């Protein structure tokens, strides 16, 4: 097994885990949060979501770094060759677009979502319904948008790999 295959597996597994995590947040965790009694919401937020944020950090960063390394390994570790290959075919444009979408989502996660995390943790100590409503609104919108971007990224990568 060579380095290219190892990077490919790391990239695919981390990307699939990242997508799976976002699906769980959208279809399990946020709906459970909405249905919880007001007294339990803060505990649930403080116990679950900081771990989810850290997991997203690991999966997104691993996916992006492994994908970039995979691209370079496929092009003999020459950046100029990799750039030309990414911009000279439908395969390349699909990989480039998907990679940039994933990179954008990762940067958004590290910049914007980390601003949300202290508010989520503080919700454990507060019983303010208005503050909870704001956090809940963000937790409903951000993961949905992230899911859309990740699904589009997966479709672009599948298009590139299969040439559909």
DSSP 3-state percent helix, strand, coil across the chain (nearest 5):
90, 0, 10
Confidence of residue 154 (pLDDT cuts 50, 70, 90): very high
pLDDT of 125 over the 70 cut: no
87 backbone dihedrals φ, ψ, rounded to 5°: -110, 10
pLDDT tens digits for range 28-63? 999 998 898 877 888 888 888 889 989 999 999 999
pLDDT attached to residue 161 = 86
Cα separation, 20 vs 78, in Å, equals 33
**The pLDDT value given to residue 97:** 95
Taking the alpha carbons of 124, 128, 130, 131 in that order, is the dihedral positive or negative? negative
Instruction: Tell me the pLDDT tens digit for each residue of 54-83.
Output: 999 999 999 999 999 999 999 999 999 999
pLDDT of residue 145: 94
Task: Evaluate whether 44 touches 32 at the Cβ level (below 8 Å).
Answer: yes
Mean pLDDT of the 8-32 span: 96
Please tell me the total count of domains within the chain: 1
Task: In whole angstroms, give the CA distance from residue 132 to residue 124.
Answer: 10
pLDDT at 124 exceeding the cut of 60: no
Please give the mean pLDDT across all residues of the chain: 89
Hey, what's the torsion of the CAs at 68, 69, 71, 72, to 10 degrees?
120
Q: Which domain holds residue 75?
A: 3-162
pLDDT score, position 156: 93
Alpha-helical segments (H) within 25-128: 30-35, 38-74, 79-86, 90-108, 114-122
């Amino acid at each position: 097994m060579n380095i290219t295959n190892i990077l490919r597996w790391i990239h695919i597994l981390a990307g699939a885990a990242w997508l799976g995590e976002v699906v769980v947040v959208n279809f399990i965790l946020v709906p459970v949060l909405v249905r919880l009694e007001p007294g339990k919401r803060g505990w649930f937020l403080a116990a679950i979501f900081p771990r989810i944020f850290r997991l997203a950090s690991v999966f997104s960063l691993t996916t992006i770094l492994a994908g970039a390394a995979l691209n370079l390994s496929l092009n003999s570790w020459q950046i100029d060759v990799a750039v030309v290959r990414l911009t000279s075919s439908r395969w390349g444009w699909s990989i480039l677009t998907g990679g940039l979408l994933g990179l954008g989502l990762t940067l958004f996660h590290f910049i914007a979502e980390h601003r949300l995390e202290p508010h989520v943790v503080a919700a454990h100590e507060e019983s303010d319904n208005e503050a909870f409503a704001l956090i809940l609104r963000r937790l409903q919108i951000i993961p949905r948008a992230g899911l859309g971007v990740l699904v589009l990224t997966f479709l672009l990568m599948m298009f590139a790999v299969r040439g559909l």
